Amino acid sequence: MNRILIVEDEPQLLRALTINLRARGYEVKPAADGTSALVAAGAGDIDLVILDLGLPDMDGVDVVRALRGWNDVPVIVLSARDAQAAKVAALDAGADDYVTKPFGMDELLARIRAALRRTVPATDAPIVRTASFSVDLSAKRAERNGQEVRLTPTEWHLLELLVRNPGKLLSQQQLLQQVWGPSYATETNYLRVYMAQLRRKLEPHPSQPQHLLTEPGMGYRFAP
């Protein structure tokens, strides 16, 4: 049974989400503010976080940043903020997905399933090495200069797709559909944000990448 932490200060919505998710077999832990959410996440046993940005004690983006300091759990932002800048800020902070209110429950459930799928352990696979970093596809682990690099589940899934297809151009649409799902085929800003994050973590010179390459207007390519 997957355990979901719902961080939402609107009682009616929190209750509706809790009822719907429990009815579908999820274990739910509710939290009404950012402080309670971080305490609950710190206690462990959380598989996914659904997070509102407009919390009474702190901004949800700050909750994401705090979580990402020590936790790789998938985070789906659920917010009435529909401006692109708000979405990019949340994704930059480490959120894995962004759903705008009002939303359809079926869509949210699909995104939850997609986020949880990205955390499923990979089957045995080789270690891919470059001059700058290495990727252990079986252990879901990346290293740079002998040190483990902490990646979010979404960052890992994107990196894994590229590394498993060395030298092959993967289109923006391919990556968006495989990492986030069919409804994201036009959300190219997601790719921009996450590729920038991967380069910052793995490339010696992120502005001049040697391995995670952009093919302008087409997609991305991994160069071993």
pTM exceeding the 0.85 threshold for the entire prediction? no
What's the rounded Cα separation, in Å, for the pair 144 and 96?
Answer: 23
Query: Torsion angle, CA of 108/114/120/123, rounded to 10 degrees?
Result: 170
CA 188 vs. chain centroid, Å, equals 15
Q: Which helix (H) or strand (E) holds 163?
A: helix 153-163
pLDDT in tens, 175-217: 888 888 777 778 888 899 999 999 999 999 999 999 999 988 8
List CB contacts of 196: < 8 A, sequence separation 6 or more: 206
pLDDT in tens, 19-35: 999 999 999 999 999 99
Give the mean model confidence (pLDDT) for residues 110-124: 74
Domains and CATH numbers, the chain: 3-117 (3.40.50.2300), 127-222 (1.10.10.10)
> How far is the CA of 175 from the CAs of 53, 141, 185, in angstroms?
27, 20, 8
* More confident call, 105 vs 118: 105
Q: SS3 of 208, please?
A: coil
* More confident call, 69 vs 110: 110
Question: What local confidence, expressed as pLDDT, does residue 120 receive?
Answer: 60
| pLDDT tops 50 at residue 123 | no
Task: Determine contact, residues 48/115, Cβ cutoff 8 Å.
Answer: yes
What does the mean pLDDT of the chain come to? Answer: 89
Amino acid at 9: D
Q: SS3 of 176, please?
A: helix
In the DSSP assignment, the letter for residue 18 is: H
Closest listed residue to residue 72, CA positions, set 98, 46, 108 = 46
